[in-house]
Structure 1
Amino acid sequence: MDTRRAMGSWLSGPRAAAEDMGVDFGYRGERLGLPESGPGSVAPVGRRLAALFVDWGLCALIAYGLISRDDMQVANVWASVVFWAMSTAFLGTVGTTPGKRLLGLRLVRVKEGPLGPLQAALRSLLLVLVIPAVIWDRDSRGAHDKAAGVVQVRI
């Protein structure tokens, strides 16, 4: 391999280099048996982030308005607790949160069966910890989704 080609693969990234060698990654969600687009397809990252901001904003308002009006640091800690409780309750029962519902998203299990409360609690806890949520696979599933065995899809 010549130097110019090696430098080009480094600049374009490992995926582009693998595709140049003939590797076919397919579309997001293909390995999970999901459609490429439309209802049931993997949710776009922008919508998922927007839904997260909506949910976090609601929880921050609840924490600030009902729990701690005097100290913002205490309100921020309580916002995390309220976010975990709200996500666990909504995802464990109806499979969506207010923000996800507003943006047309929901959580489904990769394997058959409904999302249970324990999986929702684990996913919500890992989401609050942030680090697992920013580690993604090629299907755009975070480590928190993989640990719970779920994927976010369009409604």
Structure 2
Amino acid sequence: MPRWIDTWLPGSGPAAPASAHPGERFGLPAEGISSVAGFGRRLAALTVDWLLGYGITALFLGAQVATAPFTVLAVWFLVTAVPVALFGASAGMTALGIRVASIGSEPVVGVPRAVLRTALIALVVPPLVRDADGRGWHDRAARTVVVRQR
């Protein structure tokens, strides 16, 4: 019988047997294209997206951007969620050569899961708590995995 914590988050069934590399249970290779992206690339892509959101907000607000952190957050949210929903990658992810892949047969992540994933990233903690496959709570909840494109 699974523990109660295994049931509240989609994709978090009973503990899977130890795998040789992250993403093995999803059929992903150990390295190269389509392998699980590392934390460093993911953090760098997030930083690029955040700076892009900050820059766009600064274009409209000028020097007042420092007093409008929620506006920057809203712009970052749009700059991240919309392209992930439509194309599977934000500008920062594309620059770093990674993308969000859906676990299952769906070709794209889609709007509801991209919005959920991005909202959980905004909470900061979910991306930091990762499983053996390198997926944070945000990826587990959205049933996604971040993979390398190049």
Give the alignment's TM-score, normalised by structure 2. Answer: 0.83
Structure 1 residue 151: Cα displacement: 0.4
Partners of 1:128 and 1:39 in 2: CA distance:
27
Return the match for 1:132 from 126, 132, 136: 126
Return the match for 1:102 from 74, 95, 99: 95
Is 1:59 the counterpart of 2:40? The answer is no
**1:67–1:78 contact (8 Å) kept in structure 2:** no
Change (3 A) 1:71 1:151: closer
Percent same amino acid among aligned pairs?
Answer: 36
Q: Residue 20 of structure 2 corresponds to which residue in structure 1? A: 26
* 1:118 partner letter: P
Structure 1 residue 71: Cα displacement: 5.2
Q: How many residues align?
A: 132
Off by >3 Å, runs of 4+ in structure 1: none
Greater RCO (CA < 8 Å, at least 6 residues apart):
2
* Cα deviation code 1:60-81 (max 9, x no counterpart): 111122135325131x221111
Partners of 1:47 and 1:87 in 2: CA distance:
16
* 1:89 partner letter: V
* 2:31 partner letter: S
More helix by share: 1
RMSD: 1.4
**2:23–2:133 contact (8 Å) kept in structure 1:** yes
Change (3 A) 1:24 1:126: closer
Secondary structure of the residue that 1:69 maps to in structure 2? Answer: helix
Give the alignment's TM-score, normalised by structure 1. Answer: 0.80
Which structure would you say has the larger Rg? 1
